[in-house]
Structure 1
Amino acid sequence: MVHAYILIQTEVGKATAVAEIISSIPGVLTAEDVTGPYDVIVRAEADTVDDLGRMVVAQVQKVDGITRTLTCPVVHL
């Protein structure tokens, strides 16, 4: 199982709506509004890195109001 944080920038005033929509995507564990350079931080899981990438590109990035994403897979060193 692969876990990742997805950092999301949104259009002004869209963070809450984006977090609510993303919360319903399968594999998303949490989606929360935050302050700082990013507007929403998502914790997600998938079976493989490829599945994670497909989820981000095919589902997360399609949500209206998102301007940029940064996916940070969790590593165990």
Structure 2
Amino acid sequence: MVEAYILITSAIGKVRGVSEKIEGLENVKSVRIVTGPFDLVALVESEDLSTLTNTVVVGIREIDGVVDTNTAIVVE
């Protein structure tokens, strides 16, 4: 099992819509709108690194309104 926190920057005015779309993706366990340098934090759990990568690159990054992502893989 691979776990990661995805730190997401969204376009202005699109945070709630992006959050709702991310919540609907497979392997996404939770999404929170936050303050600070990022707009959202998503917790993703997947069977392997390839599936995690696919969730981020094909799932999250393709959502209209997502400007940037930063992935922090849980190591311990």
Normalised by the length of structure 2, the TM-score is 0.96
Task: Structure 1 unaligned segments of length 5 or more: list them.
Answer: none
- State the number of aligned residues: 76
Any stretches of 5+ residues in structure 2 without a counterpart? none
**Cα separation, 1, equivalents of 2:7 and 2:15:** 12
Which amino acid in structure 1 is aligned with residue 12 of structure 2? V
Structure 2 counterpart SS, 1:75? coil
Q: Which residue pairs with 1:42 in the alignment?
A: 42
* TM-score, with structure 1 as normaliser: 0.95
Partner of 1:6: 6
What fraction of aligned residue pairs are identical, expressed as a percent?
Answer: 37
CA RMSD in angstroms, aligned pairs only = 0.6
The amino acid across from 2:30 in the alignment is: T
